[in-house]
Amino acid sequence: MIEISDGIERRFFPGDNIERDKNIYRTRPNYVKVYEIKNEGTNDLTDYQVKVENGDFSGDIGFLSDRFSRLYYWKETSNKVWVKVPSIPGSSTKTIYMYYGNPSASSESNGTAVFEFFDDFKGTSLDTNKWGIDDAGGGGYHSVANSSVHLVHPDHASGGWQGYYAIYSKDAYLFEQPAIIESRIKPLQSTSTNHDDEETIRLEKYDNQGISLLTSFTYYSWRWTLKENQDRTAGYQAYPAGFVTGSESYHNVWLIHKVVIDDSQTAKIYFDDNEKGSTTIDWSDSTRIVFHVCRASGGDGDAELYVDWVRVRKYASPEPTIQYLGDVSIL
């Protein structure tokens, strides 16, 4: 017998036989949570990444779309996971199931399988299948530890152009629009008194002949600026005035940087889900993701940036919503 927690009895799947199908569950779980995804848009969604939150996902979990179809997922935090759902019909709903309560099972969290592009910098070295390195001026370096990459372009000498250090996604591709590009970052504030340094997140044209969009955490009063159409090789002096400049300091703190590109090629930029600005840009060229630290004239301190993870996911407006329906006990 299967009983949902609100008292409504239902058969979990047709031909229910948990023991026979334990390879689908890995081993027999004790409980199943039922979620309903609602797509209010008219377009069918394929391989769409759905956020599941406001639950306790700290233990072992897994997801199914039906009795035999396991779903890929990535656990961002103990109360937030992302699930890749193969199909969500337009103007309709889709039910998925999360099983849990088996402490002997191992985690199958896998961001690479869930997102269009993903890295959470596990291990002690940069994945050179995903990332290239550009060290202009010499002396820049990175390190990977504690599930983050640390980029540094050090001070060399007072005065004069001192270059930059960057890592960039090797697979430059045309984003399947609409799309969302997100990263969890921490730009460091220079301790010097003459801190001409800059840390940026860029969406860059493949041929490096123009920056589609960049977010800059600049030396100047440690403010952030959104800018357009600049080559990676330019120093901060060559940057035009930003189309948005904020007075808040985001140095020395972790934040989630998000760019939402809709089907009209409008890009909106968010810090921790707070919208900071928008612009319309031609995304017709292949695009790569770049994390970049820059030293400029007169600097006497290091430019540093930490990146915890980066991901690219699909975007639909309106985005699907998800509702928790209840727990199922496997008796």
In a domain, 209, yes or no: yes
Q: Is residue 260 part of a domain?
A: yes
- Number of domains the chain contains: 2
49 and 149 co-located in one domain: no
CATH code for the domain in which residue 148 is found = 2.60.120.200
Ranges under pLDDT 70 in the chain: 1-30, 67-68, 104-105, 155-162, 173-176, 190-197, 206-213, 218-247, 282-285, 296-300, 329-331
pTM for the whole structure = 0.84
- If we measure between CA atoms, which residue out of 130, 114, 139 comes closest to residue 314? 114
Domain that holds residue 219: 118-314
d(CA 85, CA 93): 12
- 97 assigned to some structural domain: yes
Tell me whether residue 330 is in a domain: no
Residues 136 and 265 in one domain: yes
Q: What angle do CA 33, 35, 38 make, to 5 degrees?
A: 180
Judgement on whether residues 138 and 169 belong to the same structural domain of the protein: yes
Residue 125 sits in the same domain as residue 83 = no
Whether 63 and 192 map to the same domain: the answer is no
At 130-144, the pLDDT tens digits run: 999 998 877 889 999
Same domain, 248 and 283: yes
CB atoms within 10 A of CB 323: 10
Residue 87 lies in a domain: yes
Kindly report the backbone phi and psi dihedral angles of residue 113, in degrees, each rounded to the nearest multiple of 5, phi listed first: -75, -20
User: Do residues 32 and 75 both lie within one domain?
Assistant: yes
pLDDT at site 114: 97
What CATH number is attached to the domain comprising 105?
2.60.40
Cis amide linkage into residue 89, ω under 30° from 0: no
The confidence score (pLDDT) of residue 116 equals: 93
Indicate the SS3 state at residue 265: coil
Q: Is 328 a member of any domain?
A: no
In a domain, 227, yes or no: yes
224 contacts 218 by C-beta, under 8 angstroms: yes
Task: Tell me what pLDDT residue 122 has.
Answer: 96
Task: Please check whether residues 191 and 99 belong to one and the same domain.
Answer: no
Give pLDDT, residue 220.
53
CA–CA gap between residue 196 and residue 155 (Å, rounded): 10
- Residue 321 maps to a domain: no
User: How many whole angstroms separate alpha carbon 167 and alpha carbon 310?
Assistant: 12
Distance CA 67, CA 97 (A): 9
Domain finish residue from 114, 142, 175: 114
33 and 110, same structural domain? Answer: yes
Q: Are residues 156 and 284 in the same domain?
A: yes
Neighbours of 289 (CB within 10 A): 24
Q: Which of 94, 114, 134 corresponds to the end of one domain? A: 114
